A and B are shown apart, each in its own frame.
Chain A
């Protein structure tokens, strides 16, 4: 897959990824909708513009590492990988089915392009930090991009990793937090208040940037610049809209862990097709 440089092409890719997420989740009849849709811009920016990677050589030593810590949003990762050429797109229709390489939560050994196995929350950041530590030890320039969620910040393991990354000044580690304010049982601030996350990370000796995680231009610029991050690990707090792109899913926490029914999928795809037309006509 060639790198996309034009914003319009990247927006079209984001639209394709959203449609593929809806289609595969509807086919699977189970899985998470809100998180994957909210993180489409981040995954589009990474896999089609920012990352050093080669879908034909998934084990290429010089590649950047992507660690998905909140494994349940894997539909967006699978769809991004398929569109980037890691495996045939038709395989997206096997999501969560018996014998699939697209397990309900990602399994590293099952599918090319996956760096870790994940699902149980709070452990991805420490694995990413371990990778970043090893890269520095060996004097290598590859970056480690770790994707985490806000709800995941309830986990103690995650904060252990925050301390570790700061201690070792892992500036080759870039973390993007999906700050969508929802988790399974409701609002993150009702369940276990996390704000102010930016100040918490600053106090833990991290570099912190807060962005609109659904503004593709801003996401790309921030991730491109993150390659020059220095002295401290970098936390990018990406404010996102859960269910972004599908009007009846946006900002509704009940869509955290369920897929669209067939009629809902039709409605969602229609909305996304209309969005595609707007992108093509230059109106979006």
Chain B
């Protein structure tokens, strides 16, 4: 597949209302978080950022430099990270607690459940370096279960933005939303396809392109891969709907059901365990409200491993070509 020839605008059924435009410059989603925090910090004195010894890689370094008093270095102590954040929120602050997703929420789930969700405090949990594309660090550092464990928590919102610009918008939206939120990012540079003009609303999925055969529902940087796969499916005479379900909880049931009803089968794609993540959420919805042929693409109940991000994305089936082949087999 020749990726450089890919052009969003030439896709049949392309949604022109979202202001989408492909940009050849790849940027990590986490950069959008860092840039948005600086913007937020200037406007709102209650914004605070906490980090557990991962300042540069979670991209909170700019905020730390600009607003040192509102930045709290917690050290390698993720349980303390989220519980101190809960205490700050109790005093009216809007804390963003940042670490790698594997450690937060990975290590501090009960603290998040009790002191943030049940306690209903306005804390934003930020999990960077999620998915197998973390690469050579290996399975210990590749969070695949974070979506599932956060999605089951009452009061918790779960957001997985698709690219840099969307992460920026999502960060600002999370700050405006009053209540517990979880947002996860990837480590690697990934393609951009949303723009400053693209709207973002928590809980509002985006139909990027309409089709009548297969409905692809995805979240995170893999959404772009799904668009490329859709273009190739088009060449085979298969028309796909592609939905960017950036908010996994609350799931945009209305948008998903409307789109699914126009298609013959459904594919979910996420760089996470297929158990309990976006695939789980969609399967729960469709089995109750619109039973239909469904396939979940994700990590199938095992761990990741070391390798380059490209190698791992291919091995685990997250590149456009793998997604394309999987859909051809299934539909």
Contacts and interface: CB of A to CB of B under 8 A. Distances in A.
Interface of A: 65, 67, 107-109, 115-120, 122-123, 126-135, 137-138, 156-157, 160-161, 163-164
Contact of B87 (A117, A131, A156): A131
A138 B90 CA distance: 13
Given A123-B83, A130-B83, A157-B111, A107 B118 contact: yes
Interface in B110-150: 110-111, 114-115, 118-120
Contact of A134 (B74, B87, B110): B87
A117 B118 contact: yes
30 contacts: A65-B90, A108-B119, A109-B119, A115-B90, A116-B86, A117-B115, A123-B83, A126-B80, A126-B84, A127-B90, A128-B87, A129-B84, A131-B88, A132-B87, A133-B72, A133-B87, A133-B88, A134-B88, A134-B90, A137-B69, A156-B79, A157-B79, A157-B80, A160-B75, A160-B80, A161-B80, A161-B83, A163-B80, A164-B77, A164-B84
Given A156-B79, A161-B83, 18 more contacts: A108-B119, A108-B120, A116-B90, A118-B114, A123-B83, A126-B86, A127-B86, A130-B86, A130-B87, A131-B88, A131-B91, A134-B91, A135-B91, A137-B69, A160-B77, A160-B80, A163-B80, A164-B84
Nearest to B110: A120
B296 interface: no
A119 B114 contact: yes
Contacts of B70: 137
Contacts of B89: 130
Interface in B18-72: 69-70, 72
Contacts of B88: 130-131, 133-134
A168 B72 CA distance: 10
A157 B118 CA distance: 18
A131 B79 contact: no
A128 B80 CA distance: 11
A108 B116 CA distance: 11
A163 B69 contact: no
Contacts of A108: 119-120
A117 B114 contact: yes
Contacts of B75: 160, 163-164
A108 B117 CA distance: 11
B84 A109 contact: no
Interface of B: 69-70, 72, 74-75, 77, 79-80, 83-93, 110-111, 114-115, 118-120
Nearest to B86: A127
B236 to A, nearest CB: 53
A48 to B, nearest CB: 24
A133 to B, nearest CB: 7
Contacts of B118: 107, 117
B115 A164 contact: no
A133 B90 contact: no
B114 A120 contact: yes
A123 B79 contact: yes
B115 A123 contact: yes
Contact of B84 (A119, A127, A137): A127
Contact of B115 (A109, A116, A134): A116
Given A133-B84, A157-B111, A163 B77 contact: yes
Given A127-B90, A134-B91, A161 B84 contact: yes
Q: Which 10 A-B pairs have the closest CB atoms?
A: A130-B87, A134-B91, A160-B80, A126-B83, A127-B87, A160-B77, A117-B119, A157-B79, A130-B84, A131-B87
Nearest to A65: B90
Contacts of A117: 114-115, 118-119
B197 to A, nearest CB: 37
Nearest to B76: A160
Contacts of A157: 79-80, 83, 111
